[in-house]
Amino acid sequence: MNSAHSTTYASFVAAQEIVRHGKPFTDGDYIKESFIKISEYLFSDFENKSEIVQKIRDMPLSAKTVKDRTVEMAENITRQQIKDINSAVAYSIACNASKEQIALFCRYVNSAGPQEEMIELIPLKGQTRGEDIYEAVLDYLRTNEINTTHLVSVATDGAPSMTGAQDSFVALLQKSLGRTLLTFHCILHQEALCAQTFPPECAEVMNVVIQIVNKIMAQGSNRHQFHFLLDEVKSTSSDLLLHNKVQWLSRGEVLKRFAACLEEVKIYLGTRGLTFPELQWPEWLERLHFMVDMTAHLNVLNTTLQGKGGTALHMLEELLAFEHKLAVFAKDLERGTLSHFPSLRDFKQAHDVTNLEHLQSAITAMQTSFGKRFCELREEKNTLSFPVAPLTIDPSLLNMTAFAGVSQPDLEMELADIADKDMWVSKFQRLTANLENVARQKAVLAQNNKWSDIERLPKPEKLIFDTWNAIPVTYTNMKKYAFGVLSIFGSTYICEQVFSNMNYIKNKYRSRLTGNSLQSCVKMKLTSYSPDVQTLCAEIENQKSH
């Protein structure tokens, strides 16, 4: 590698680290200057110290260079992604639209396993109607020559412009393709809607809590005095939390911390002459402790549904399990044992006053809401189960309409052929055992709060991919169907993450960061792909030679 090539390559590496950490382009100059000063001491005993320092000086890292490198790397990654999408046997998309752009994600299986990638932040010009979103997405797919013949499913946030019957994005997309796709309303959005079924008197508890927390936390002096009080009474709680409606888990954490600090909150409000009579009402306090317990249960569900790479089957199973748990919660309230409501149980024991009937109605309303939702996923339970248990499912129950490249008669014959071949059957038996083992390990680690160890466990979707990858091409329709199902999104959680990352990257100090530069920064921060830096360096050298 010649000197010019090595410094160009190094500038790409530095730019990649800058944008993956969400830092501004101007940090290139800062890194270079720091590196030069460090080198004066780090390489002081090297005979070629001056050559090393000169190499660092020659490394181009101006703000414009870092920006250009970022855009070039993002474009290189997009080309890799499109190539993998077009060579995959099937892929799915997830879309979420804001006022200005559409976050477009693709999920597909390549030679390395399942991939879940942001393909583009597509700008929206004008309105956010279904036809506007449809035209923007279809134009992008066509312009970039992304094949739609093996598109199998679409996940959206469930907005009318996305999923309406006539002129929605999904309806227009299916009409243009001339076939029916598997379409899903994001599980997390539906779960959040179900969580909003608390009766008005319970919702009012949250409103009062927010008012009190804002009184204490909104001003620095008030917050400081409250901290001093907590220290003085040697409270086990460190602080209150502000509520954020954008963050799904916020409500439960706010209520939990508020209940833990309740006595200290009463003392503080008294010293400030602030009156909230609800804090003395047994009925209001009862509802508070009920909300603490129920939002904690909902937060556990929400957490299991979040994250990148989870299969739609896993999400559906978690939801169905929670529906059964709701029945257990209702029985627990009916009996008055409160085994699953620790905060409410402690309140009952301390005050010996509880009226649980109206709380049971809250559980019933939530059961009804859960029962009415997630219809698309419930209907496709057999389809979603195929990659995990293909030999136990009646092929006539599988949804074939979305899988354009799969022949149902051939699929049935392949399933019949493989049924008694121990070599391949054992693969699926081993897969079941491995998935069970991972689930057991995860449960034990979660119980001990070892979250980083959970991240190191084998990913279920990778175990499923490895099993099917070992199946011979003789069973091509089975493999195509399994990989197609594995590509299905259960939620648009990752689309929400894009907008969160975008707000982090485009902060008040980088307000002018827009368009291609912003999208490139977001892509580089989120992607699991690595840019082909060798090729990019060669392209730059070719440009210089002309």
Q: What is the pLDDT of residues 411-457, one digit of tens each?
A: 999 999 999 999 999 999 999 999 999 999 988 998 888 888 988 99
What tokens appear for 352 in the block? Answer: 């010996």
Q: What pLDDT is attached to residue 246?
A: 39
CA distances 515 to 121, 123, 216, Å, are: 9, 8, 40
Would the pLDDT of 478 be above 50? yes
Report the pLDDT value the prediction gives residue 249, as an integer from 0 to 100.
46
In which band, very low, low, confident or very high, does the pLDDT at 233 lie, cut at 50, 70 and 90? very low
Mean pLDDT of the chain: 86
Summarised one tens digit per residue, pLDDT across range 256-293 is 888 888 888 888 788 888 888 888 898 899 999 999 99
Among 507, 528, 529, smallest CA distance to 518 is for 507
Lowest mean pLDDT among 246-255, 363-372, 449-458: 246-255
Residue 331 has pLDDT above 90, yes or no: yes
**Do residues 308 and 494 make contact, with C-beta atoms less than 8 angstroms apart?**
yes
**Does 381 score more than 80 pLDDT?**
yes
- Choice among 94-103, 192-201, 514-523 with the minimum mean pLDDT: 192-201
When comparing pLDDT for 353 and 388, which is higher?
388
**In this prediction, what percent of the chain has a pLDDT beyond 70?**
92
What DSSP letter does each residue of 20-40 carry, written as one string? HTT--TTHHHHHHHHHHHHHH
Instruction: Please name the amino acid found at residue 439.
Output: A
| Residue 19 CB-half CA count within 13 A | 33
Beta bridge partners of 116: 107
Alpha-helical segments (H) within 373-421: 375-379, 381-385, 408-418
528: number of CA atoms within 13 Å, CB side? Answer: 12
Residue 225: per-residue pLDDT:
56
What's the pLDDT score for residue 185?
Answer: 85
Give ∠ CA 370-371-375 in degrees, rounded to 5: 95
pLDDT at residue number 250? 64
Among 115-129, 204-218, 429-443, where is mean pLDDT lowest? 204-218
8 Å CB contact between 192 and 497: no
Contacts of 96 (CB under 8 A, 6+ apart): 102, 103, 156, 157, 492, 495, 496, 498, 499
Return the exposure string of 476-514: e unless at least 16 CB atoms fall within 10 Å of the residue's CB, then b. Answer: bbbbbbbbbbbbbbbbbbbbbbbbebbeebbeeebeebe
Give mean pLDDT, residues 354-360. 80
Q: What's 459's DSSP letter?
A: P
Query: Which tens digit of pLDDT belongs to each residue from 8-51?
Result: 999 999 999 999 998 999 999 999 999 999 998 999 889 898 98
Predicted model pTM: 0.85
First vs last C-alpha separation in the chain: 21
DSSP 44: T
Q: Which H or E element spans position 399?
A: none
Assign domain 78-185+491-530 to its CATH architecture.
2-Layer Sandwich (3.30)
Outline where 167-278 has alpha helix (H): 169-177, 187-194, 200-217, 220-232, 250-260, 262-272
Q: Which long-range contacts (CB under 8 A, 24 or more apart) does 159-167 make?
A: 159/97, 160/130, 161/97, 161/128, 161/129, 161/130, 161/133, 162/95, 162/97, 162/130, 162/133, 164/130, 167/129, 167/130, 167/131
SS3 150: coil
Phi-psi region of 337 (alpha: psi -120 to 50; beta: other; left: phi over 0): alpha
pLDDT (tens digit, 9 = 90+) per residue, 494-506? 877 787 787 788 8
**Confidence at 546, pLDDT banded by 50, 70, 90:** very low
